[in-house]
A = this chain, B = another copy of it.
């Protein structure tokens, strides 16, 4: 790290839910920031956003926007990333992309710093930020992989509506009020904006996140399966996922079954591995009803783990409950942490 060097950072999608969280995190952190450039679609350009008591003008993102930019943080949807990330790279920026556009590309590192920070060093201009539900799972699995080896993961998710964007929050709020007022619920967005049918999310559960693939799994489920293997460098790891959207605003929760390689592992061994893991906080004491919930994890930086227990039939099987703020560690915070790793390790 060049001492005292400051960096020009661009945020593409600055007015979106994740873009706004990135701004909050950059304000709070001691990030070596020189110039901050806020970019968006034509539609949102011209808006003003406050940052450290200054008003910043949001500009339309075009190829020329990236001149002089060192690090460009993209979260404006896959199509924007596909179009503009290569342009940013051409202009000399390193892109950290928060969409699914490049995650599975061979020459693009997919990174959760606590898990595979070193992969950043191989970047060719673009580094991908994993899917929110993947990030918190691998953060909790990594210490177990290191300590005991793992060979099998089965996860069922409990995911907040904010993963589908700020509009989904509004839809949940509107439908909840409609229900309390005795009105019919109007569903216009969820489960998937561009899909054919829409179902109410208020006081309901939708077993579909993102569109269905030919194999009967949703794209969200396939993201969890494929991204986990890539991030953990474990192509042989068996991963199965069922992803469900639920009526809360913030944080994803996950019921995870994991099988370890080592024999004779105890719950106390998992606790020890999890407690000493970077970015993970153990909240697990049944006697005092201590476990994380979506509300308790909201606006926090960590991945919270509770309900750790041994399978009653399989000596190598364990169950746990993993909760994290999907916009923080699940998106904005992990993006900023990748940028910090880039800088700290001279990997720009």
Which residues of A does B touch, CB under 8 Å? Answer: 152, 154, 156, 158, 173, 176-177, 179-180, 191, 195-197, 199-200, 203-208, 212, 215-217, 225, 238-240, 242, 244, 246-249, 253, 255, 257, 267, 286-289, 291, 293-296, 306-314, 317, 319, 321
Sorted from nearest, which 9 A-B pairs have the closest CB atoms? A156-B156, A238-B313, A212-B286, A216-B309, A156-B255, A203-B248, A242-B255, A204-B295, A197-B289
CA distance A226 to B295 in the complex (A): 31
By a CB distance below 8 angstroms, the chain B residues around A173 are 180
A156-B242, A177-B180, A212-B287 provided; 5 other pairs, C-beta below 8 A? Answer: A180-B180, A191-B289, A199-B296, A207-B291, A216-B286
Contacts A311-B240, A314-B238; is A289 near B321 (CB within 8 Å)?
no
Contact in complex: A249, B203 (CB < 8 Å): yes
A-B contact pairs, 29 of them (CB 8 A): A152-B313, A156-B156, A156-B242, A158-B205, A177-B180, A196-B288, A203-B249, A203-B295, A204-B295, A205-B294, A207-B255, A207-B307, A207-B321, A208-B289, A208-B291, A216-B310, A217-B309, A225-B312, A238-B313, A238-B314, A239-B312, A239-B313, A240-B311, A242-B321, A244-B253, A244-B255, A246-B246, A247-B247, A247-B248
Decide if the interface of chain A is mainly helix, strand, loop or mixed.
mixed
By a CB distance below 8 angstroms, the chain B residues around A249 are 203
User: How far in angstroms is the closest Cβ of chain B from A17?
Assistant: 16
User: How far in angstroms is the closest Cβ of chain B from A198?
Assistant: 9
Contact in complex: B242, A307 (CB < 8 Å): yes
CA distance A225 to B238 in the complex (A): 24
User: How far in angstroms is the closest Cβ of chain B from A233?
Assistant: 17
CA distance A203 to B287 in the complex (A): 25
